[in-house]
Amino acid sequence: MGIREIVEGAIALLVLSYVVLIYNNLVQLKHNAAKAWANIDVLLKQRHDELPKLVEVCKQYMRYEQSTLEQIVQARAEVFSARAAADLKELGQAEQMLRDGLTHLFALAENYPDLKADTSFKHLQSRISGLENAIADRRELYNDSVNLFRVRIDQFPDLLVARVFRFRPPEMLRFSARETRDVDIKALFG
């Protein structure tokens, strides 16, 4: 075995090692995005489990607000369906509908002093609000993970390895225009 074969073998080993390193980094980014989505999924499930309890407590007091309660139940079903199908576009729309329903429900609760004083309602309202905040935080982490993955598979030489092994990043969780616009404070107090 001559010097030339040794040099060629060393170069081939270095190139192969570099490709393996890139591949492993892309796998890690892929799994980080999947883990971030799984964290969102856990919180969505927890909120999904809490909503029937909230609706049941509210039914005892809010006999004349059935349409609001039905809107929440319908939105909950749509979130569950979109979550199960991993359809991020539908999930975003269903999430918006659910948040709107909860906002309306909590505003209506102001008209029912007995409901506002109910310890179960207060606990569930606090729990669901906490879950909403955690979901928002996890959405940000998920989008960051997806973005890092997207950047890496668009950069040279990583894009070569990504194309060969067909790495595809998941979709970002997008926000509707209604979610990102400024809040009309006058309307909330009007």
Give the residue numbers spanning the domain of 176.
30-189
What confidence score (pLDDT) does residue 183 get?
Answer: 44
Q: Is residue 10 part of a domain?
A: no
Amino acid 177: pLDDT: 55
> Residue 85 domain-assigned?
yes
> What is the number of domains present in the chain?
1
Taking 60 as the threshold, does the pLDDT of residue 170 lie above it? Answer: yes
Q: CB of 37 within 8 A of CB of 83?
A: no
Tens-place pLDDT, residues 37-59? 999 989 989 998 998 888 888 88
Which residues, at least 6 apart from 179, have a Cβ–Cβ distance to it below 8 Å?
96, 99
| Residue 19 placed within a domain | no
21 found inside a domain: no
Residue 165 domain flag:
yes
CATH of the domain at 164: 1.20.1440.20
Cα–Cα distance between 105 and 74 in angstroms, integer?
Answer: 14
Comparing C-alpha atoms, which of 19, 33, 35 is closest to residue 165? 19
With 50 as the cut, is the pLDDT of residue 96 above it?
Answer: yes
* Residue-wise pLDDT tens digits, 98-137: 888 888 888 888 888 888 788 888 888 889 989 989 998 9
pLDDT over 60 at 151, yes or no: yes
Residue 8 falls inside a structural domain: no
Grade residue 188 by pLDDT with cuts at 50, 70 and 90.
Answer: very low
Rounded CA-CA distance 95/186 in Å is 24
Contact between 91 and 138 under an 8 Å Cβ cutoff? The reply is no
